[in-house]
Structure 1
Amino acid sequence: MTYSIVARDPRTGAFGVAVASRFFAVGALVPHMHGQAGAIATQAFVSPLYGTDGLDMLKSGHDAQTVMEAVTGRDAGRHSRQMHVIDAQGRNAAFTGEKCVDWAGHLVADNVSVAGNMLAGPEVLEATLAAYQDGAELDLAERLLRAMEAGEAAGGDKRGKQSAALRITHGEAYPWLDIRADDHGDPLAELRRLLAVAGERFLHVAETLPTADNVSGLLDRSHIDLKIAELDAERKAKGRSSASLATPPL
């Protein structure tokens, strides 16, 4: 099951993972990351330990290749598993077990890797990587989502569609963005809607959150409130409704 992309934005140092699958709640198991250490996607006959233990190793300063060799090397089931990882310096490593269901494989490039199994063919990963590389001017969330959409257009998971996830961290242990469609007929389209909802309010509020360097966060959020109000007024002036499905405020 599954195809995914793991990337580091060299401009900001942010890490991101995007994933889609004909499997329930793929975002619950595949992506693992820490803003100061790196990111991992673990998939196929998934071992969550590849993510949790691998992330501990990254936080201890191990490079991506060492992490990959360590977590796969100890595992008798590695022949049916897949992972790819990027460390804080942007070094990549990837592994595809020889018994992963066809089509299965991975591609590694500068600051990004793609991997998948049970795919329509290698063109899925080729299209995903090409779209990511062609989107260097985009912010990381949009760049990752467009890459996944290109992979889907090339065939995606050969069994169909069910879930997708997008997670990004900006230098912290907690995610800056973490959106998921766990059971949906068009999960990447749902992620695009959720990303639009996040842009209306959530991502602006995220600028106020406490960080490791400022444990109190931004105490005066008046300029954030103003920005949210301006965006809301602009959207209404253009005749666009909110992308959110939430009930109206009381």
Structure 2
Amino acid sequence: MTFSIAGFCPRSGQFGVALSSSSMAVAARCPWLMSGVGAVSSQNVTLPALGPKILERLRQGESAAAALKAVMNEEPFADWRQVTVVDNQGQTAVFSGGRSLGINHQREGLNCVAAGNMLASKQVIEAMVSQFCADPSLALGNRLIAALQAGLQAGGEAGPIYSAGMKIVSSESWPLTDLRVDWHEQDAIGELASHWQRWQPQSEAYLTRAINPAEAPSYGVPGDE
């Protein structure tokens, strides 16, 4: 019921996760990121606690593979979980339990890893990774959105998609981008792409406003000088 991609951009140092699901508000539960450390997506039968546990191990210096293995070895319901990880070296790891739903698949690529369950076909995940890797010069958010769209074009889920989201962390402790479509009857991924087109030109300005308001640009709204 979910397909996702986690990626790292060595040029910017950014980490990001983009994902979609037939379940409501998928981006509220599955993606976990830490600036300078890594990104995790916990899905299938989602256990949000896995994200912080893996990130803490990454923060302590463990590789993506070592952190994922250690946490899943302690997880009593590992068979129901599907988890992807990318660390600050661009190394990736993925776990898909034996009870992952429906057609499920996973693939690791250069600085990225994608996985999904209840898919129309395994080609969905293959298309996502191929698209992400197609042009590394693009901004991370553009690559993640394009990968999600490629997965949809390759068939997406076996059923309808109702929610989507993308989260990106950069140099600060809070997300640079945190976009969510919690429920959309027709085109959650298309709606997310529209959100990104509106947000991307403003994202760095909002970062400047937070760090140094004296240098922040004006948006011409009442009270904004």
Q: TM-score range by the shorter chain?
A: over 0.9
Q: How many residues align?
A: 222
Please give the per-residue CA displacement for 1:200-250, whole angstroms capped at 9, x wherever unaligned.
53442223322xxxxxx35222xx33xx68xxxxxxxxxxxxxxxxxx979
Residue 64 in structure 1 maps to residue 59 in structure 2: no
What is the alpha-carbon distance in structure 2 between the residues aligned to residue 127 and residue 158 of structure 1? Answer: 16
Partner of 1:208: 209
Alignment of structure 1 residues 65-144 onto 2, 5 Å: 65-144=65-144
Partner of 2:45: 45
How many angstroms does 1:184 deviate by?
0.6
Residue 220 in structure 1 maps to residue 215 in structure 2: yes
What is the alpha-carbon distance in structure 1 between the residues aligned to residue 119 and residue 165 of structure 2? Answer: 17
What is the alpha-carbon distance in structure 2 between the residues aligned to residue 130 and residue 123 of structure 1? Answer: 10
Partner of 1:197: 198
AA of the residue aligned to 2:194: R
How many angstroms does 1:177 deviate by?
0.5
What root-mean-square deviation, in Å, do the aligned CA atoms of Structure 1 and Structure 2 show? 1.8
Which structure: greater strand fraction? 2
Whether contact under 8 Å (2:103, 2:117) holds in the other structure is yes
Q: What percent identity do the matched residue pairs reach?
A: 31
Structure 1 stretches lacking a partner, 5+ long: 211-216, 230-247
Whether contact under 8 Å (1:2, 1:117) holds in the other structure is yes
Whether contact under 8 Å (1:34, 1:172) holds in the other structure is no
The structure having more radius of gyration, on CA atoms, is 1
TM-score, normalising length: structure 2: 0.93
- Distance change (3 Å), C-alpha of 1:249 and 1:163: farther
Please give the per-residue CA displacement for 1:108-164, whole angstroms capped at 9, x wherever unaligned.
122110000111111100111111111323111111101100100111111111000
Q: Which has the higher contact order (CA 8 A, sep 6+)?
A: 2
Please give the per-residue CA displacement for 1:63-98, whole angstroms capped at 9, x wherever unaligned.
111111111111121111100101111111110011
Whether contact under 8 Å (1:165, 1:178) holds in the other structure is yes
What is the alpha-carbon distance in structure 2 between the residues aligned to residue 134 and residue 5 of structure 1? Answer: 14
What is the alpha-carbon distance in structure 2 between the residues aligned to residue 68 and residue 107 of structure 1? Answer: 15
TM-score, normalising length: structure 1: 0.84
